[in-house]
Structure 1
Amino acid sequence: MKNINPVKTAAWKQLNNHFLDIKNVHIKNLFHLDKNRFTNYSIIFNNEILVDFSKNRITEKTLQLLLCLAEECYVFDAIKSMFLGKLINKTENRSVLHIALRNKLDSKIIINNLDIMFSVKKELKKIKNFSNEIITGRWKGYTGKSISDVVNIGIGGSHLGPYMVTESLKAYKNHLNIHYLSNIDGTSIIEILKKVNLETTIFLIASKSFSTDETISNANYLKDQFFFKTNNLNYFSKHFFALCENTSSALNFGIDKKNIFKFWDWVGGRYSVWSASGLSVALSLGFHNFELLLYGAYSMDQHFLNEKLSTNIPVILALINIWYTNFFHTETEAIFPYDEYMHIFPEYLQQNFMESNGKSIDRNGKLVTWNTSPIIWGQSGTNGQHSFFQLLHQGTTLVPCDFIIPVLSHNPINNHHEKLLSNFLAQTRSLAFGNDYDIHKNEISNNFINKNKLYQYCEGNKPSNSIMLKKITPYSLGSLMALYEHKVFVQGIILNIFSFDQWGVELGKSVASDIYNNLLYNSFNKKYDSSTEGLLKTYKKWNNIL
């Protein structure tokens, strides 16, 4: 990949000048000038997903300049490099090949002179066979009973991805009860143990390195509880499984070799749901639906790889995001899925965006002078309309939003879905157009005496994207997830940062490890700041260990 400072490009400089011309232009005027704006600023993907980006503060010239920026930053070359398995994760010297996990082509993908697709297909077959064994009841627990519950033990991508997918696709769920354990807080593990019977529960330990502290601590506790209950080492293989790259550590933990589901160092944690880390998804939905999820992502991969930049959905959305974060200097971006099954989707995207692009050093090893990732937040359904939407409509902070809704509901009771869709449409329209903008602006400038009417003033001109799915299915969800993955990738390429490491996360882990060792042995070999030392002393005092 080329390491290009984006602010030094000709396009960036032209965008700066263009911003001065357009920054006060109202979305209402853009629609007035272009009667075909919806048609000109929307794209339909595979007759499954409609992306409407017409309610943005952009013109044709904005898009042309943003596309020039993408070309100057060699975005298309970077896309090809990822799909070819080049070592684009430079700081860890790895390829970035989550796209291989859902690859449906017969073509090879070569890493270190080996076709990785052979291993990918082998693991998929293993996932298929095992999930079928569990779902049909042929796999028995140590007392001869069929499995009723699955506990996925992971954190980060090994938790958020599978958890989000199983929640979003709950309409396709089978009889198995799926539980997700991530937090190291003992409350989480105790509450799950209240719900399950160890005789009919399997435990999936999902950790790429098989050394993630929260995950292994939780796994060790469950292992101890299982042995306390059964008092028999031979039963362990019927109930404990590893989803990891580090097979030797899994074996040392006591996992039977045949119970290890492997994924690879070229799979980032936040992209691991497509791999063996998604085993809980296959167990919850059945392997056929897991395959459809992969196929949906593959279809978006092919769009991303083959579509020209000007009609490439992830590219367009990435460029619009860069336009807001770096020219309007917005700091957040909100995601609002109008479907209760998708309530985890904003949280899932938080990791995808902020762990990927929350960086301040560019690929040249220099401090950036531009904005990288926005803060991602959001909530499902109409709930937010009765709380923080007030700020979106009348606050002083500009927040670009993505609104997501299915046309067909899995639960079409009475006229609820029509009301939900009405709210979806009303919010995007109100944010864009406000309420009688010209009249109210004139009233404010002339100190209009009707204060009650003045307080109702909503300027509008608040941007949003509308993403409409025909229905939330494994296929469409897979496509949507891949869309956002590729959007993040494009932003990282243009902003000249490495999107596939997370050294900031590692810092917190190392400091926590040092403090834990000091706490454990009741001695403090290291000098901390006064705040940290004060908090530690209070902890010890209230635990009567001073």
Structure 2
Amino acid sequence: MASPAFPRCDDTGAWKALRQHFDGTGRGFDARQALQADPARVQAFSLEAPQVFADLSKNLLDAQADRLLLQLAQECGLTAQRDAMFAGEKINATEGRQVMHFLLRAPRQGGADARLSAELAQVHETLARMLAFAEELRTDASITDVVNIGIGGSDLGPQMATLALDSFVAPGKRFHFVSNIDGHELAAVLRQLKPEGTLFLIASKTFTTVETMTNARSARQWFTQQGGRDVSRHFAALTTNVQAAAEFGIGRTFGFWDWVGGRYSMWSAIGLPIAIAVGAQRFRELLDGAHAMDRHFREQPLERNLPVRLALLDVWYRGFHGFTSRSVAPYHSALRRLPAYLQQLEMESNGKRVDRQGRELPYATSPVVWGEPGTNGQHAYFQMLHQGTDVVPVEFIAVKKPEHGLAEHHPQLLANVLAQAAALMQGKSDPGGHRHFPGNRPSTMLLLDRLDPRSLGALVALYEHRVFCAGALWGINSFDQWGVELGKVLAKDIAPRLASGDTVGLDASTAALVQRLRD
């Protein structure tokens, strides 16, 4: 993938044509007028994917821009780049790794390229062990609390999914997630626990992550000080470093592979908290939903391929309209951690400033991703969305059928999500200015029939593939994260200085702050 065989988006004829179109008429496109003039626009800009319906008709995209964006995907070799990933090629060139999170949800038979049969067999062996352990825990009434200690991909995915599937969680068990090295977070969880009723899951591929191992050691110390016995029964490790886990006192480990990036790992052993929460059968349904989206991505033509179409919108909005962020507004409280999960998935993947050859990029890449569940967001940041100086595309996620029996609530929730999308587009005229809404503010509507394991799996896989497509078009490696490392290295240097007071070699600001924190 380091080969220039796949051109960068700005090296294509389609990019130049898009620039001409945008400067000519695309910049002034009005979605309100387009919908009024063409009743068929909704159908033309709607797509069906497994478990997800998407209405893109309120976006600032006319037929010509849409055609040129699809041409851009073709000229960048997007399908060939996709096929290289699914064939197990080492598309993560800077780390020399394959990228095969899709293999974690592939069926044992016929779910992947035949060349990956050995890896697929290992996946299913680990999956069977993990799900057997999850079922054992679910029927163990003595374990009332499960504490997942991890950070980044070892925290955000399992936490998001466990909360999202709360309606399916086994009664009698509570789930806690500790990630921050700030001791206040762990202390707040430990106050709720009894050692004899707690299982700690230590999630770290290398078993060396500073935040995770600091929290793990503190949890073990609390466990023994509170009279806990048998660390090997009350601690399990999600890691490939079996030796380090054994030295910690853990005998039960579940591993994964270097071709799984942390932010793509909730389908692996990192998903053990999800499996304990919802059970083996529903965890397999989560995998099935993701695999269905994998097939959609692999098999559908570009024009009917939902991950591709969403990625093309991202390129259009960042590279031409200059929109710097995207707000994700899930109108389902169980999806409240989805925006945080997507922040890592998208910004860690595509927050890059050089292409695969190390050349500095002349265009913008990942937008800032942020959001809150509706209707809470309406009473917070939606003021800016409607009347602020920046245009922020919004991604609404709505669920048709609730998992509760409170009859009055869900119709109001659905009315609000529809109203907000309509209001952003329609706007409202006020000569006095204070009540003027400019309108023509773009949004996408993603609809699920219900929020269950299968639909959640499809939704998350949709976002994974969208990120891959955008990165492929921008010509970047979406699967390394060197930007995470520098701060870690500096923290290791500064930590002992806080104890010793040595500030030699530090910049003046950092040195002064070290001294102030020691006073």
**Structure-2-length-normalised TM-score:** 0.96
Counterpart in 2 of 1:544?
Answer: none
Please say if 1:249 is aligned against 2:244.
yes
Checking the alignment, whether the CA contact within 8 Å between 1:157 and 1:269 is kept in structure 2 is yes
Checking the alignment, whether the CA contact within 8 Å between 2:73 and 2:473 is kept in structure 1 is yes
Residue among 61, 76, 80 paired with 1:73:
76
Structure 1 residue matching 2:436: 3-state secondary structure? coil
Counterpart in 2 of 1:173?
Answer: 169
Structure 1 residue matching 2:14: 3-state secondary structure? helix
Checking the alignment, whether the CA contact within 8 Å between 2:137 and 2:276 is kept in structure 1 is yes
Counterpart in 2 of 1:312?
Answer: 305
Q: Deviation of residue 246 (structure 1)? A: 2.3
Q: Deviations over 1:315-343 (max 9, x none)?
A: 00000111001100010000000011111
Call closer, same or farther: CA 1:399–1:32 in 2, change over 3 Å. same
Residue among 43, 46, 50 paired with 2:47:
43
Residue among 475, 500, 515 paired with 1:537:
515
Counterpart in 1 of 2:183?
Answer: 186
Counterpart in 2 of 1:127?
Answer: 130
Partner letter of residue 22 of structure 1?
G
Counterpart in 1 of 2:214?
Answer: 217
Aligned length: 514
Partner letter of residue 88 of structure 2?
G
Q: Give RMSD over aligned pairs.
A: 1.6
Q: Distance in 2 between matches of 1:254 and 1:382?
A: 46
Q: Deviation of residue 196 (structure 1)? A: 1.0
Residue among 232, 236, 247 paired with 1:237:
232
Q: Deviation of residue 114 (structure 1)? A: 6.8
Whichever of the two has the greater Rg, that structure is 1
Partner letter of residue 135 of structure 1?
R
Q: Distance in 1 between matches of 2:241 and 2:399?
A: 40
Structure 2 residue matching 1:217: 3-state secondary structure? helix
Q: Distance in 2 between matches of 1:58 and 1:226?
A: 57
Checking the alignment, whether the CA contact within 8 Å between 2:108 and 2:120 is kept in structure 1 is no
Residue among 463, 468, 485 paired with 1:489:
468
Counterpart in 1 of 2:294?
Answer: 301
Q: Distance in 2 between matches of 1:499 and 1:120?
A: 23
Q: Distance in 2 between matches of 1:41 and 1:326?
A: 21
Structure 2 residue matching 1:509: 3-state secondary structure? helix
Partner letter of residue 539 of structure 1?
L
Please say if 1:118 is aligned against 2:121.
yes
Counterpart in 2 of 1:428?
Answer: 421
Call closer, same or farther: CA 1:36–1:110 in 2, change over 3 Å. closer
Structure 2 residue matching 1:69: 3-state secondary structure? helix
Residue among 416, 419, 436 paired with 1:457:
436
Call closer, same or farther: CA 1:197–1:231 in 2, change over 3 Å. closer
Call closer, same or farther: CA 1:110–1:56 in 2, change over 3 Å. closer
Q: Distance in 2 between matches of 1:254 and 1:29?
A: 66
Partner letter of residue 263 of structure 2?
R
Q: Deviations over 1:94-136 (max 9, x none)?
A: 1011100000151476899871011111111111211111111
Q: Distance in 2 between matches of 1:460 and 1:263?
A: 48
Structure 2 residue matching 1:468: 3-state secondary structure? strand
Checking the alignment, whether the CA contact within 8 Å between 2:6 and 2:77 is kept in structure 1 is no
Partner letter of residue 514 of structure 1?
D
Counterpart in 1 of 2:144?
Answer: 148
Checking the alignment, whether the CA contact within 8 Å between 1:85 and 1:95 is kept in structure 2 is yes
Structure 2 residue matching 1:195: 3-state secondary structure? coil
Q: Deviation of residue 34 (structure 1)? A: 1.4
Counterpart in 2 of 1:164?
Answer: 160
Q: Which moved more, 1:215-224 or 1:410-419?
A: 410-419
Q: Deviation of residue 292 (structure 1)? A: 0.7
Partner letter of residue 440 of structure 2?
N
Q: Percent identity?
A: 41
Q: Distance in 2 between matches of 1:91 and 1:110?
A: 24
Structure 1 residue matching 2:428: 3-state secondary structure? coil
Q: Distance in 1 between matches of 2:323 and 2:374?
A: 24
